[in-house]
Structure 1
Amino acid sequence: MNIDHTEFIMWMDRIMKRFDILHERVKENNNELFSIDGDQLLDNQDVLQMLKISARSLQRYRSTQKLPYYTISGKLYYKLSDVHQLIRESLTSPRKNHK
């Protein structure tokens, strides 16, 4: 089967337009899956990198209820606004003096 250059370009253009449509749909679905009430959800790795803390510290924030979390399909997520609130609280709370 032979196709000329013009027909090939036309087919490739149609394929690329379909890929663009699919890409937009995937982006929309990802945004829906990783946000709640318009607030972005972060997983453990995102929060660890953002706060530059250890996994144990993050676990401590959860267990002391300093950082609310959500379990979705067995995976932990945090609202970005809750992480920002934790940061604000840690900046305004007095530090303990260690001698």
Structure 2
Amino acid sequence: MANLQVVTAQETVSIPLKSGATLLHLIQTESVPWGFNCLRGTCARCRCQVLSGQDGLQPPTEAEELRLRKKELAEGFRLACQAIVKDVEEDIIIQYTPYR
């Protein structure tokens, strides 16, 4: 089974992928420090960049398209509370990239 590789400033954590789960849900199951607030895609505190495995995620949600700029989406940025795993065949690598 493939894994979600979560890269933070402190560590890289490997979490088994689960189809239908949001990235944030998977991150929370392993108690990885990750900022979030609303869970609806409006605050964008959970923003991350998908470094590899973008094809394993469902397309961006309406909330992501409203909150993230087109350039951000093109560069692989997603909201962890909205990005849903669709395929567990290959690893997905993300980096925590909150707005500063």
TM-score by length of 1: 0.28
Whose helix proportion is higher, 1 or 2? 1
TM-score by length of 2: 0.27
Higher relative contact order (CA 8 A, sep 6+): 2
- Structure number with larger C-alpha Rg: 1
Whose strand proportion is higher, 1 or 2? 2
